[in-house]
């Protein structure tokens, strides 16, 4: 199947929210909140419009990736600006066709060209190690609690900036701290979908509680 990757634009945002909802519905929890996350990203200070891409086939958006600003902090509170992506997703009927991988590769290349030293994400290693991501423990980078989550993954873009000799902690944008107070009201703007429990939710619950020593 032929598809193209292009820069996202504000007129794409509503369709991208729909794609995000379809892609994540019942995947990690009954229902999802990723579409609200991406809705909040559009107007947040950490959104990076130059790192917003959509996948299009036959004039239809079938996938997307968005990036936000984040940073590392060392033990002396010095900061190093990096980026984070998410959500990245593809409509269920278009998955396993290489679209998600191409979105990720495009985002990585663009972030490197813009001079960012690293990308850190929170995700399933099965999906991202093939794209050059490693656990952040390999680079001496913990989360804000000093722990090393299994799903905290780093793609190094500039080896001179992050060598593992300095202990860092990862600080991501507060836009990902989604409040569910308005989720139900926001969700009513979309077609009704049934919430249910799936095995992928059980696996996700295990992954988010897994740490590397």
Cα separation, 65 vs 38, in Å, equals 10
- Give the confidence band of 164 by pLDDT, cuts at 50, 70, 90: confident
Residue range 71-86: mean pLDDT, rounded: 96
Domains parsed from the chain with CATH numbers? 4-173+197-207 (3.40.630.30)
Q: According to DSSP H, which parts of the chain are helical?
A: 13-24, 34-41, 99-113, 125-128, 183-187, 199-207
pLDDT at 115: 98
- Above pLDDT 70, what percent of the chain? 100
Instruction: Please write the tens of the pLDDT for every residue from 44-73.
Output: 999 999 999 999 999 999 999 999 999 999
Burial class (CB in 10 A: 0-12, 13-18, 19+), 25: buried
Residue with tokens 């979908």: 193
Tokens of 98: 């290489």
Answer yes or no: is pLDDT of 110 > 90.
Answer: yes
Separation of alpha carbons 70 and 152, rounded Å = 13
Confidence at residue 113, expressed as pLDDT on a 0 to 100 scale: 98
Nearest alpha-carbon partner for 171 in 146, 150, 135, 195: 146
Query: What is the chain's mean pLDDT, rounded?
Result: 97
Q: What is the pLDDT of residue 49?
A: 98
Phi (first) and psi of residue 64, to 5 degrees: -160, 160
């Amino acid at each position: 199947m032929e598809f193209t990757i292009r820069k996202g634009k504000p007129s794409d945002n509503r369709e991208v929210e729909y794609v995000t909802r379809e892609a994540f519905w019942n995947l990690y929890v009954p229902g999802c909140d990723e579409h609200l996350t991406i809705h909040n990203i559009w107007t947040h200070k950490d959104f990076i419009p130059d790192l917003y891409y959509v996948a299009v086939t036959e004039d239809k958006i079938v996938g997307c990736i968005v990036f936000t600003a984040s940073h590392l902090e060392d033990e002396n509170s010095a900061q190093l600006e990096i980026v984070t992506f998410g959500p990245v997703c593809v409509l269920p009927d278009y998955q396993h066709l290489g679209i998600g991988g191409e979105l990720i590769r495009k985002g990585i290349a663009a972030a490197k060209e813009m001079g960012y030293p690293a990308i850190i994400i929170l995700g399933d290693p099965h999906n991202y190690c093939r794209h050059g991501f490693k656990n952040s423990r390999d680079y001496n980078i913990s989360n804000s609690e000093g722990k090393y989550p299994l799903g905290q993954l780093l793609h190094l873009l500039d080896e001179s900036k992050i060598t593992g000799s300095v202990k860092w902690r990862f600080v991501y944008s507060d836009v990902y701290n989604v409040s569910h107070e308005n989720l139900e009201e926001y969700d009513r703007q979309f077609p009704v979908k049934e919430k249910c429990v799936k095995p992928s939710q059980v696996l996700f619950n295990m992954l988010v509680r897994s740490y590397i020593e």
